[in-house]
Amino acid sequence: MSLPPRAVIVHRATELTELIARHGTRQQAGFFLAGRGRDLAELDARHQAQQDALATVSAAIPLDWRRAVAERNDLDRFGFGPEDVVIAVGQDGLVANVAKYLDGQPVIGINPEPSRNPGVLVPHEPAAIAGLLTTRTVTERTMVAASTDDGQQLLALNEVYIGHRTHQSARYRLSSPDGLPERQSSSGILVGTGTGSTGWCRSAWQERRSPLALPTPTDPVLCWFVREAWPSPATGTDNTEGLLKAPDSLTITAESDLVVFGDGMESDTLSVSWGQRVEVGVAEVTLCLVA
């Protein structure tokens, strides 16, 4: 007998919750904000908007479904199952945060603050959840995968970063399908998807006025950029950007201690020591985003 679906509601702590946790009391949080020209009422309204959205979503889940709640900071310890339907309530980045832990489960993005959030990955209003749980149109978005030669692997929806833990100079040897191997020193390498090409990768692309055509979210293509490559007698700057199509990959051989993290979650990283290799390419799995 198969298990009924499980609705997993994913959210992150609001700014109000985090401030009260940091300062101990609501009054102290208000005093802190007032000293910086902000009003506690603004955070109250945003907190209430999220609570209302969470309540609407919870009430719409069918009674015969199982349910669970996961906070953003606990995602790396949460066990997702194949029958899960993931409901991300929050900012667009929350979908990227949860995507790396999934393997084909559908994700419904709920936007509690349409006036603040663009809604690229959380396009739905809370009131739409009932219909989306029963009738869904899914689009598959390309993801990026990084794997090391000792078996570690990491997935990301937007981009992965490979570099020094503090973003200072990292030394490594880079090999790409469309360029000669090159020893480099830089502040890290970004490898991003079409979804991520509106964020960190786009910043690198725009700053250097790159001629590359950035991929779209559903293209099985990645873009990559070396950040601030340093020219020296021992390091080069000739091979600093490109596109990757499956099954091609970018190979980075560490010549200093490096980390790999995805979608800005620096708390969940792969550690790479001198001489280890990292392969980055198009992931075999995709994010199933409910349109």
62: number of Cβ within 10 Å: 12
Among residues 11, 15, 10, the alpha carbon closest in space to that of 26 is found at 15
In the predicted structure, residue 2 carries a pLDDT above the cut 80 = no
Entry pTM: 0.88
Residues 108 and 85 sit within 8 Å (Cβ to Cβ)? yes
The CATH label, of 3.40.50.10420, 3.20.20.370, 2.60.200.30, 3.40.190.10, for the domain at 143-284 is 2.60.200.30
Q: Return d(Cα 21, Cα 26) in angstroms, integer.
A: 9
Tell me the percentage of the chain whose pLDDT exceeds 70. Answer: 100
Mean pLDDT along residues 29-55: 90
> What pLDDT, on a 0 to 100 scale, did the predictor assign at position 180?
86
Q: What confidence tens digit (pLDDT) does each residue in 132-172 have?
A: 998 889 999 999 999 999 999 999 999 999 999 888 899 99
Mean pLDDT along residues 22-37: 87
Q: Return d(Cα 32, Cα 205) in angstroms, integer.
A: 38
Work out the pLDDT band at 32, boundaries 50, 70, 90.
confident
Task: Report the mean per-residue pLDDT for the chain.
Answer: 93
> What pLDDT, on a 0 to 100 scale, did the predictor assign at position 179?
81
> What pLDDT, on a 0 to 100 scale, did the predictor assign at position 1?
56
Mean pLDDT along residues 195-207: 91
Contacts of 261 (CB under 8 A, 6+ apart): 154, 160, 161, 268, 269, 270
